[in-house]
Structure 1
Amino acid sequence: MQPPSSSLPCEVIGILGGTFDPIHCGHLRLALEMRLALGLDSVRMMPAPRPRLRSAPQADAATRMRLLEAAVEGIPGLLADDCELDREGPTTTIETLRSLRVEFPSASLCLILGMDAFSRLDTWIEHEEIIHLAHITVAHRADNDALARERKIETRLLREHRTDDATVLRAHRSGFVLVRDIPVLDISSSRIRDHCARGESIRFLVPDRVHDILIKEGLYAATP
């Protein structure tokens, strides 16, 4: 099913949210891989101050934003976006998309999710409205049992809105679900926090600028 489009979007914007506690090379590689695979003009990376469905981040929002800005500095097409940080209460994707739709009325918005997040989409507030505000672009690993998991989730969304043609993202502002096999680096923020707490090296898990900040300021180090 193809939604009507009165005019072609002038820009295709990827949206990648997360706690980024802290930002690491896996986050950045995912953003770059999706930008390349889908032909996105940019990917806006947005730290969530108070995620509704996850435990509270260890670092405060200002610190995580500062680390994200250091991580994307000088990387074409990757942007640190603080639009969620001033919002009261738990962060919801639907609010963010509505705000972005006002800011970018003519753009194609592409919400970037991992397969695990996509499989839990029905737990999100007003999840039915997301497809009307943005495309849903899903990155899943080409290894393990990703294809088996895909067959079990969000069957209605996939049945009614799926496309395998990335060019439709530029032809329509919203309305499609696109799934891509993307190589994912096996790095997690929790692993980095654990390494920091134990005084172990995090070199090559995070960008050099982020590494230097974490070490210099002792962020995530164990409390004496």
Structure 2
Amino acid sequence: MVEKRRIGIIGGTFNPIHLGHLMIAEVACESFNLEKVIFVPARIPPHKQHDVIDSHHRYAMTAAAVSDNPNFEISDVEMRREGPSYTVDTIQHFKMLYGPNVEFYFIAGTDTIRALPTWKFIEELLNEVHFIGATRPDGSSAIDETLDILGPKAREKIHLMEVPEMKLSATYLRERLRSGKTVRYMLPKCVVEYIEENHIYGKE
């Protein structure tokens, strides 16, 4: 039996993309022997409507951030979709694109894994895709609660991945940008340059 190829998918608002996103994708690629990781910015994220900048800026920043890593790609599948971006539709798109000999691994942080019981079509997703839950050294208990809620299938399809401690969030970074504080070594240099050139996340 031929072993299936493994491809990672990391979706999100990327508002803005930061080094935490890139680190998680890189560690997942190594830890789960992924052929590549595809970044999928959401045009209309269903769970985040507040304080979200225009999708073309978020896409451009993500494209710039992943451009120097040969294991990373970006997809505009959710940029081209009308209405909110649901992961189940995105997974179906990639399954049709790549065929039956690929297993997909959806990469997410602890907060996203904790929220999985509220996702539309979560039962279908657990049949279609593996999840990689990135945890901090002390953060696995939140994912354990999710596994208890979702049942045996989740324990088979949700995998834990410990990542180095990096307390970065897009909300925190937007606050720093708006108050004129440094984001050096928190965002890729190309993303900082894009933000400055396009005058987004302006100072308050």
TM-score for both structures, normalised by structure 1: 0.83
User: Which protein shows a greater Rg?
Assistant: 1
Match of 1:67 in 2: 61
Partner-residue secondary structure (3-state), 1:35: helix
Q: Is 1:180 aligned with 2:153?
A: no
Q: 1:25: Cα distance to partner? A: 0.8
**Corresponding letter in the other structure for 1:67:** M
Distance 1:69 1:148 in 2: 33
Paired residue for 2:7? 13
> What fraction of aligned residue pairs are identical, expressed as a percent?
27
Q: Is residue 7–residue 102 contact of structure 2 (8 Å, CA) maintained in 1?
A: yes
Task: Tell me the residue number matched to 1:3.
Answer: none
Structure 2 Cα separation of the partners of residues 12 and 139 of structure 1: 17
Q: Which residue of 1 aligns with 2:194?
A: 213
Residues 190-218 of structure 1: per-residue CA shift (max 9 Å, x gap): 12211221222211111111111112222
Q: Distance in 1 between matches of 2:129 and 2:189?
A: 33
* 2:113 and 2:143 in contact (8 A); partners too: no
Using a 3 Å threshold, how does the CA distance of structure 1 residues 151 and 217 change in structure 2: closer, same or farther? closer
Q: Is 1:112 matched with 2:116?
A: no
SS of residue matched to 2:26: helix
Q: How many residues align?
A: 203
Q: Find the counterpart in structure 2 of residue 40 from structure 1.
A: 34
Post-superposition offset of 1:158: 5.9
Secondary structure of 1:139's partner? strand
Residue number in structure 1 paired with 2:176: 195
Q: Which residue is equivalent to 1:132?
A: 127
SS of match in other structure, 2:190: helix
RMSD: 1.9
Cross-structure match for 1:151: 144
Does the 8 Å contact 2:177/2:201 carry over to 1? yes
Q: Is the 8 Å Cα contact of residues 133 and 143 (structure 2) preserved in structure 1?
A: no
Letter matched to residue 77 of structure 2: C
The gaps in structure 1 that reach 5 residues or longer are: 1-5, 164-175
Tell me how far apart the structure 1 counterparts of residues 154 and 145 of structure 2 sit (CA, whole Å).
Answer: 16
Instruction: Give the counterpart letter for 2:109 in structure 1.
Output: G
**1:57 positional shift:** 4.9
Residue 18 of structure 2, aligned match among 21, 24, 37 = 24
The answer to whether the Cα contact below 8 Å between 1:196 and 1:219 also exists between their aligned partners in 2 is no
Q: Which runs of 5+ in 2 are unaligned?
A: none
Q: Higher relative contact order by CA 8 Å / sep ≥ 6: 1 or 2?
A: 1
Distance 2:66 2:76 in 1: 13
More moved, 84-93 vs 111-120: 111-120
Aligned residue among 81, 85, 101 for 1:87: 81
Amino acid at match of 1:74: D
Q: Is the 8 A contact 2:136 2:164 kept in 1?
A: yes
- Runs in 1 of length 4+ with deviation above 4 angstroms? none
